Amino acid sequence: MIVIVRHGQTDANSGHRLLGRGNPPLNDAGAAQAAQAAKGLLARGFAFRHVFSSPLVRALRTALIIAPDVPPVTDARLIEMDMGPYEGADLHDLPPEVRVFFSDFANNPAPAGMEQLSDVVRRTGAFLEEIAPLEGDVLVCTHAIAMKAMLEYLTPGANGRFWSAYLGNCAAWAVRSEGGALGLPEDLAL
C-alpha cells in the first residue's frame, strides 16, 4: 500500500501565505500533526518499508516523524508546485490572475511564471509509476498541490475534481498497488 501524506503545518501555512518552493520548517503544531498522523497510521496497521519525501524540509521532517526507523529517500518530483513570482503572497490578497487560476484550476492555466498543473501531474504520476512495484507499505510525504496532482493522476476521469478539494496539513490518502498496477486513492481521514 502506498500512503501519500501532506506535510505538517509551517508558519507560512498558518500565516496564510502561498507556499511553493520556499523551505520553511514545521512549526510546533506541524510536528504535533505529524506525530498524530504517525499514531493514526500505526493504529491502522501500516508498517513502512520504504519512505520517500520531497526534498523540502517541511515534508522531510514529516516523513522522519511518521517513520523514524526508515531513512527517507528524497525525490525532486515530489516538490511543491513552483509558484514563481507569487511565492509568499498573502492568500487573502492574491493578484487577480492568481485568484482566477485558483478559482478553477482545471480550466484556467497557471499565470506566467508559475509551473503548469499538467507538469505537476506528469512528474508526480511518473514517480508513482516508478514506486508501484515496491513491496510492503510505502510512505510518500509531499505537498498540497503535488498531492492533488497525484490524486488526479490516480483517478480516471477526475477532470479537476481534486484541484479545489481542501487537503489539510498531514492529510493522508492510501493507494493499493498490486503487481505494479495502481488502484484508486482512498481518503484515510486521519
- DSSP string of 96-129? HHHHHHHH-TTTSPPPTTSPPHHHHHHHHHHHHH
Number of domains into which the chain is organized:
1
Structural domain harbouring 155:
2-187
Q: Is 144 helix (H, G, I), strand (E, B) or coil?
A: helix
Residues 169, 163: Cα–Cα separation, whole Å: 16
Residue-level pLDDT, tens digit, the chain, 190 residues: 999 999 999 999 999 999 999 999 999 999 999 999 999 999 999 999 999 999 999 999 999 999 999 999 999 999 999 999 999 999 999 999 999 998 888 888 999 999 999 999 999 999 999 999 999 999 999 999 999 999 999 998 888 889 888 999 999 999 999 989 999 999 999 8
In sequence order, which ranges of the chain are alpha helices (DSSP H)? Answer: 11-14, 28-43, 57-66, 96-103, 117-131, 144-154
| CA 134/CA 178 separation, integer angstroms | 9
Element at 161 (helix H, strand E) = none
**Cα–Cα dist 132/32, whole Å:** 30
pLDDT at 15: 96
Task: Name the residue with cell 519525501.
Answer: 53
**What are 46's three cell numbers?**
501500516
Beta bridge partners of 26: 10
pLDDT given for residue 41 in this prediction: 99
Give the domain CATH number at 155. 3.40.50.1240
- Residue 79 pLDDT: 99
The confidence score (pLDDT) of residue 165 equals 86
What is the predicted pLDDT for the residue at 73?
99
